[in-house]
Structure 1
């Protein structure tokens, strides 16, 4: 598998950060999408935020239109025609970003992988398979395709990895039932899921940002 070198946007909240958050955007967005949320997190410690741009590719469900995407979506039912090859390619690229943070002096236990929608899929798959213990993962407005692969592929180092899982109750793009199913699938496999639901659509709310801040501070204090 060829590993794509992802372009990134970076933001540091203070000098000499000793912890990193790799945050993946959703379909059609870019690495700049979540950059404005960093000041709203009001974090007391110095962190490096890494916001990668997904590669541009044709997305079948959007008529083959080329946009930034972590993988193709070919059917409205997200459990059908899953682009497993595309997901695994993006997981490999994100794992390389984790490696790069380690090369820059950040311990794996001080790295969190976060993602929204498509980015949340990649965040979950990458973090739970990474061979060194991470600090946690944040999965927003997302779902968990081919969960059974975790039974044979999950890294022992990240068994029991804390997961912040959140979803909008009125999400019309990814129904909350998909997130509830992911929560059940992860819990059944022994992962501690910090579950949140909000009265919103496929978006991020101020209440959610406050809860994410609390999770980051607890994991990276």
Structure 2
């Protein structure tokens, strides 16, 4: 299951077609929802985006607040998609949730805060994105509200960033990795990649790494 958003069309990001046209992961079913179109804002997004500066603000209290309400709404929608898979007989530990850009953000947030599925999926694939609500103790507070343990379980996570990605600055990437570590994810459960010369887009090496990771976390079942 993958998702993308904020202006990225499925024609540009159809990872499933690229894998299957090359005979990769033929046993997988793919669900690829696209973000809703906001006609007022004239954009397609899972939530109202927040721009990132290259450097941390000296007045963090003045920074634009993240769209937590929109994110919670999206998590609930993603939960409904997972529900549909489970109702068809697919166990959560055979489901990978992933996405590009905002899709990455929502995949990570769902895995960390979903009352139904936090820590229960086969893996999370995050490409060219970040972990939202990472400042302070917001994520810990949401987990506590949902009666989730303070630290996360051992769900396998694949993260990829282009070193020339101007939309996700290095400091936001580092903040994401640090917060995931604080929440209990360690190097043994995270497969982290940065790609030289790559901006906010896909590449052959990235797709090869992603495919190899997916083959490990959801191998073909024996007949």
Whether the TM-score (by the shorter chain) exceeds 0.5 is: yes
1:52 alignment partner, one of 33, 37, 53? 33
2:127 alignment counterpart:
140
Query: Normalising by structure 2, what TM-score?
Result: 0.79
Partner residue in 2 for 1:185: 179
Unaligned runs of 5+ in 1: 1-21, 59-63
1:144 and 1:182 in contact (8 A); partners too: yes
Equivalent residue number for residue 24 of structure 2 = 43
What is residue 47 of structure 2 aligned with on the other side?
71
2:3 counterpart residue number? 24
SS of the residue 1:52 aligns to: coil
Deviation at 1:100?
0.8
| Structure of greater Rg | 2
Which residue in the other structure is 1:210 paired with? Answer: 208
1:198 partnered with 2:177: no
How far off its partner does 1:31 sit? 4.2
Number of aligned positions between the proteins: 195
CA distance in 1, matches of 2:139, 2:161: 22
Q: Quote the RMSD (CA, aligned, Å).
A: 2.3
1:150 is aligned to 139
Give runs of aligned pairs for residues 2-13 of structure 1, distance below 5 A: none
- Of stretches 127-136 and 103-112 in structure 1, the one that deviates more from structure 2 is 127-136
Q: Is 1:83 equivalent to 2:72 in the alignment?
A: no
Q: By how many angstroms is 1:97 displaced?
A: 0.5
- Check if 1:159 corresponds to 2:153: yes
Q: Deviations over 1:164-217 (max 9, x none)?
A: 111010111111321122011101221132110001111111111011011111
* SS state at 1:48 partner: coil
- CA separation of 1:74/1:189 partners in 2, compared to 1, >3 Å: closer, same or farther? closer
The structure richer in strand per residue is 1
Question: C-alpha separation between the residues in 1 aligned to 2:140 and 2:52?
Answer: 26
Q: Which runs of 5+ in 2 are unaligned?
A: 55-62
Please, what TM-score do these two structures have when normalized by structure 1? 0.79
